[in-house]
Amino acid sequence: MTRTGIEYLRAKDQDSAVALVAEDPDAAFLAGGTTELDLALKDRVVHPSRFVDIGRLPLRGVTRDGDRLRVAALTTMEELAADPTVRARLPLVREALLLGASTQLRNMATIGGNLLQRTRCRYFRDPDVAACNKREPGSGCAAIEGVARMHAILGAGPSCIALHASDLCVPLVALDAVVELLDADGPRRVPLTDFYLTPGDRPDVETVLRHGELLTHVEIPLLPAGTRSAYIKVRDRTSYEFGLTTAGAAVQVDDGTITMARVGLGGVGTVPWRSWEAERVLVGSPANERTFAAAAQAAIRDPFTVPGTEFKVELAKRTIVRILRTVTS
Amino acid sequence: MSSTTAARSTEVTVELRVNGRTYPARLDSTTTLLDALRDELHLTGTKKGCDQGACGACTVLRDGKRIVSCLTLAAQCDGSEITTIEGLADDGVPHPVQEAFVRHDALQCGYCTAGQVMSAVALLREGRAHTDDEIREFMSGNLCRCAAYPNIVAAIREVADS
């Protein structure tokens, strides 16, 4: 039996969960476990003193409130994908969910945990690698000089090129989802596009979440009727593999002209990437190849690449063109 | 710092309900369900492959749903109904999926087989075995280093069609 010296507590309610984590700077919430246990027990790159298990709190299920869907944070990926409203009104969310991980993991992994997943950067996840500004601020970045096929080109810089690998977050940032957070000061709401922080010179600070703050819900605005949406994922294997480049888009076309456009990109960003630049090109333009190419060009302007990630510039543009063809055809 | 710091316990008392039996256990808090099954309950049918959620060899059912037991703490499963490969047979008669795996020679070394079978049983319950492509997609969390995939798909297809 491996002894790790980690305390395990089961939270009785949300407030006590928050208090049990807040009182100990090294305590961590434990929900589905697929990220946290991997990092703490297997990779051993995070070192919690205490797990506060929130898995049995009544924070599970999907409710509809007018034109918004409110998803409790402990809803699993499989449960959200199976939700009838998600099926009918948010096909890009369902597709992103089912293209991620495996059924086993989707039965365990929660929506809150998906949003808070840590990067898959192999250097971050290897405690024998000394240079990782995300783990040890100021220590350098081994990925910049290393094998960087699965790394970011947008929002990246010399301090960190670690990718945010979530599929789900790509449609969520495109749809203007909002997260609800709770701590001792009460609840607050943060748009998902403001929730994540690009690395800058502090790659260790990934979100605006405070220690002890609990992500309780995600609110997803439904798409207006008549909107076409889809998610595509380009990867090295057909299934059960992280994306090299992915894209989620929702558009409305009126008489050949794009009147509404949402574009999210995955596999390219240090944070789930909302492409306002692509959207600005699309809205008001004719739904044709020339527009799609211009949108792709605008979306991938000023990438930060290393030798291993240069291929993503062209691949991401082609992925954007393909998703735009798909949702306008 | 909190007053609980001094008296922190890193052990847990759990009641594991596996294949219809109840096993009380006192474990290190970070014992995975996989290690508890194998090392404490001596149910060694569930296999440890990657031990990191990537291969599916340790797949079991928790409250009827397939999960990987390597990324689950035993403590998180306190009171849940766990089904392992040892619990599939009905009074000595193998489960139809087990029979089909034998009939189709759906294995070579056999190390991944318990996980494949548990995953397939869940897949059939989920209603996701209409086509070979669908079976391949929703079995993709179970790797087979011997690449017995064609025969695994055929075995599952046969049970789905029967």
Complex ipTM > 0.85: yes
Mean pLDDT of A243-256: 98
Sheet containing A186-191: which strands, arranged edge to edge?
A62-65, A68-72, A214-221, A178-183, A186-191
- The answer to whether residue B32 is domain-embedded is yes
Q: Could you read off the pLDDT of B79-129 as tens digits, one per residue?
A: 999 999 999 999 999 999 999 999 999 999 999 999 999 999 999 999 999
Instruction: Return the structure tokens found at A75.
Output: 């809803």
Same domain, B125 and B151: yes
- Interface probe for B, chosen from A44, A103, A110, A120 (most Cβ of B below 10 Å), is A103
Answer whether residue A201 shows pLDDT above 80: yes
Q: Report the residue from A1, A50, A105 with minimal CB separation from B28.
A: A1
Say if CB A167 and CB A266 are below 8 A apart.
yes
Answer whether B30 sits within 8 Å of A107, measured CB to CB.
no
Across A35-49, A124-138, A140-154, B1-15, least confident range: B1-15
- The answer to whether residue B46 is domain-embedded is yes
Domain count, chain B: 2
Q: Which residues of A touch B73 (CB under 8 A)?
A: 8, 30, 33, 37, 51, 53
Q: Report the residue from A8, A42, A50 with minimal CB separation from B75.
A: A8
Same domain, B49 and B106: no
Q: In angstroms, how far is the first alpha carbon of chain A from the final one?
A: 57
Give pLDDT, residue A4.
74
- The answer to whether residue B83 is domain-embedded is yes
Say if CB A265 and CB A320 are below 8 A apart.
yes
Answer whether residue B2 shows pLDDT above 50: no
CATH number at residue B156: 1.10.150.120
For chain A, the average pLDDT equals 97
Answer whether B29 sits within 8 Å of A6, measured CB to CB.
yes
Q: Could you read off the pLDDT of B130-154 as tens digits, one per residue?
A: 999 999 999 999 999 999 999 999 9
> How many contacts (CB atoms, under 8 Å) link A and B?
107
Q: Could you read off the pLDDT of A156-169 as tens digits, one per residue?
A: 999 999 999 999 99
Q: Report the residue from B31, B71, B128 with minimal CB separation from A108.
A: B71
- The answer to whether residue B147 is domain-embedded is yes
Confidence of residue B8 (pLDDT cuts 50, 70, 90): confident
CATH number at residue B65: 3.10.20.30
A26 Cβ under 8 Å from any chain B Cβ: no
Confidence of residue A24 (pLDDT cuts 50, 70, 90): very high
Q: Report the residue from B30, B66, B140 with minimal CB separation from A240.
A: B140
Amino acid at A164: H
- The answer to whether residue A245 is domain-embedded is yes
Q: Which residues of A touch B39 (CB under 8 A)?
A: 1
Answer whether A8 sits within 8 Å of B68, measured CB to CB.
no
Answer whether residue A318 shows pLDDT above 50: yes
Domain hosting B114: range is 96-161
Q: Could you read off the pLDDT of A128-153 as tens digits, one per residue?
A: 999 999 999 999 999 999 999 999 99
Answer whether A38 sits within 8 Å of B53, measured CB to CB.
yes
Amino acid at A41: L
Answer whether A24 sits within 8 Å of B2, measured CB to CB.
yes
Instruction: Return the structure tokens found at A143.
Output: 């990925």
- Interface probe for B, chosen from A104, A233, A235, A242 (most Cβ of B below 10 Å), is A104
Answer whether A103 sits within 8 Å of B5, measured CB to CB.
no
Give pLDDT, residue A1.
47
Give pLDDT, residue B4.
47
- The answer to whether residue A112 is domain-embedded is no
- The answer to whether residue A272 is domain-embedded is yes
- The answer to whether residue B2 is domain-embedded is no
Domain hosting A237: range is 229-328
Domain count, chain A: 2
Confidence of residue A2 (pLDDT cuts 50, 70, 90): low
Answer whether A108 sits within 8 Å of B67, measured CB to CB.
yes
> B44, exposed or middle or buried, with CB in 10 Å at 0-12, 13-18, 19+?
middle
Answer whether B28 sits within 8 Å of A33, measured CB to CB.
no
Same domain, B77 and B35: yes
Quick one: closest CA in A to B59, which residue? A104
- The answer to whether residue A183 is domain-embedded is no
Same domain, B82 and B105: no
